[in-house]
Structure 1
């Protein structure tokens, strides 16, 4: 699935693309092994996140709800998107022949798995971007307007925003097929994923919705994070030179709010870094470059982002790390040999 709106023209006349991941048997085995490990990492990490957030009262907050929404979006990538690629590649290796639906786009088959998996990957990516944006807004209010935090950021409002983000993201994900009959879905031989593909140059107009949405929201998220980090830096400088009174401290963000803002900032940087190759790939396609090998790395770097969140929480959030450790302790006890 081409998340960023990059058009991919179907070309069935020539031989299959020989990418760096798939030219030799060893490379194919390594690719499938990578996919399998990625599925395990995504499922384990995000199930732990959901268990900690939903099972700990401390995390039953607007921020916790947003983190749970982000974990569900990442979990969907590990349950639906990556396993389909594993199935297609293992079948190709085992039988030395490709599945029928990997040879034709969705316009030529009555049922095409990419009709489901493509929008799921696109929708979940949009949900991730939207959720990180909402997390940034929530943390910026806590840092810049700490006295208004509890009245502005409520669990009810957060729940409504989460629902709207999911509905809006998946509406955007299916919009290319709804508004243009020239856009199909295919299992791309370069990226080894379900991609949106344009059949005519006119389809560009619809596919540009994706990068416009992505870049606008990510750009706004980065700007808000910069403002929040600047405020935190100024606050830290004041603490070094002034002994704050109780009255003064009540108008300042708490240490917990500052730590959480830094965690969300790290989350934003990680997502932006994983999305940057896709942005470069979009520019390359606009200039007429195919970049088959690069497309594989670009899309799978984005997919690996689905397992990074739990690592960031564990490193940056001591309470999350402690809860996750307690959650996994029973398994450690079972594996400890009895004397």
Structure 2
């Protein structure tokens, strides 16, 4: 747990009024980017018949998790920083942990951020499994990957992720939720200064679970992309028969697998600093500057998905452009 002197250290690049304003502007722009990008994703996926597939449902689940970050998590940080900037007074809940304040916003916001992060990792894993089946076993894709099974897996991922998110405060009295002045977010922290072993082990469950899923996701992506490469090589070296054309993955499946691979790479890159920070914090390192950049790098990942879809998926990009143009036409006709 970071001590108060570390948390209030002015090395977090926010001592001057200009830096504070820039930080708040960044947070506000991030809110709009998250809300806009994921709203577009949900509109395209749920409003277009082509995207109402198991893969589309998983993308919608991922967009909902990212939307929750933009609706609940980032606005609280904006409120805390604006209050401090305008009144030069920190709200009481930003200086006390959840055990000393009757109603502490972090008791609500902290599990949402942790739960949505876990949902994102789990959903990317499920997307990778879905794409690997389409690439490795194209003939079995329709029978194995169904909407009903995908919906059940989505529900289980949300329930399991949020159970894991609240487990630290349920199973250890030495872990609290507090507003961290370094990260500018609600974080789990160790209440005792001696770092009890049980509480440390519970906190380490997060990076252990996340890296296990991300590691498995990376391995499956490598296997799928290797298979795609082999099929591409066969098309160049051999004259394929009709039977071969049926058994190999379709062009859309190949494109989708590459998109999920890019999504996995982006999330792994954004999550790694958080995992490093949690491990370092548990063993006693006070990384105030690093915690700020680690948490906000992860938060910015909530608006990257729509960019990746737009770059990698031509049909998604075309449909999103149609929706934006039609909304502009409606606004013009109303005026």
TM-score of the superposed pair, with normalisation by structure 1: 0.94
2:150 pairs with 1:133: no
When the two structures are aligned, how many residues end up with a matched partner?
329
User: 1: CA distance between counterparts of 2:319 and 2:137?
Assistant: 29
- Match for 2:247 among 244, 251, 265? 251
Aligned counterparts of 1:69 and 1:91: Cα–Cα separation in 2? 33
Shift in Å, 1:336 = 6.9
In the alignment, what sits opposite 1:241? 237
Q: Report how far residue 121 of structure 1 moved.
A: 0.1
SS at structure 2 position matched to 1:32: helix
What whole-Å deviation, never above 9, does each CA across 1:36-95 have from its counterpart, x for those lacking one?
A: 000000000000000000000001100000000000000000000000000000000000
Q: State the Cα distance separating 1:278 from its structure 2 match.
A: 1.4
Provide the residue aligned with 1:37 in structure 2. Answer: 29
Unpaired runs of 5+ in structure 2?
none
Residues of 2 paired with 1:266 and 1:280: CA distance? 22
CA distance in 2, matches of 1:72, 1:15: 32
Are the counterparts in 2 of residues 19 and 190 from structure 1 also a CA contact under 8 Å?
A: no
CA contact (8 A) 1:267 1:312 kept: yes
Q: Does 1:21 align with 2:13?
A: yes
Q: Which residue of 2 aligns with 1:315?
A: 311
CA deviation profile, 1:113-166 (whole Å, cap 9, x unmatched): 000000000000000000000000000000000001010000000000000000
CA distance in 1, matches of 2:327, 2:45: 19
Confirm whether residue 104 of structure 1 aligns to residue 91 of structure 2: no
Tell whether 2:267 aligns with 1:260.
no
- Ranges in structure 1 where 5+ consecutive residues have no aligned partner: 1-7
The aligned counterpart of 1:90 is: 82
In 2, Cα distance between equivalents of 1:14 and 1:40:
31
2: CA distance between counterparts of 1:59 and 1:46? Answer: 15
Offset, 1:207: 1.0
Q: How does 1:1-339 map to 2 (within 5 A)?
A: 8-9=1-2, 11-12=3-4, 16-200=8-192, 201-202=195-196, 203-286=199-282, 288-333=284-329
C-alpha distance in structure 1 between counterparts of 2:7 and 2:289, whole Å: 15
For residues 229-285 of structure 1, the C-alpha deviation after alignment (integer angstroms, 9 at most, x for no partner) is 111111110011112111111110001100000000000000001112113323433
Alignment CA distance shift 1:194-1:73 (3 Å): same
- How big is the shift at 1:13? 6.8
How large is the RMSD of aligned CA atoms in angstroms? 1.5
Residues 1:174 and 1:82: Cα distance change in structure 2 (over 3 Å): same
- In 1, Cα distance between equivalents of 2:293 and 2:204: 22
Tell me the SS of whatever aligns to 1:250: helix
Q: TM-score, structure 2 length as denominator?
A: 0.95
Offset, 1:175: 0.2
Contact (CA 8 Å) 2:98, 2:176: kept in 1 or not?
yes
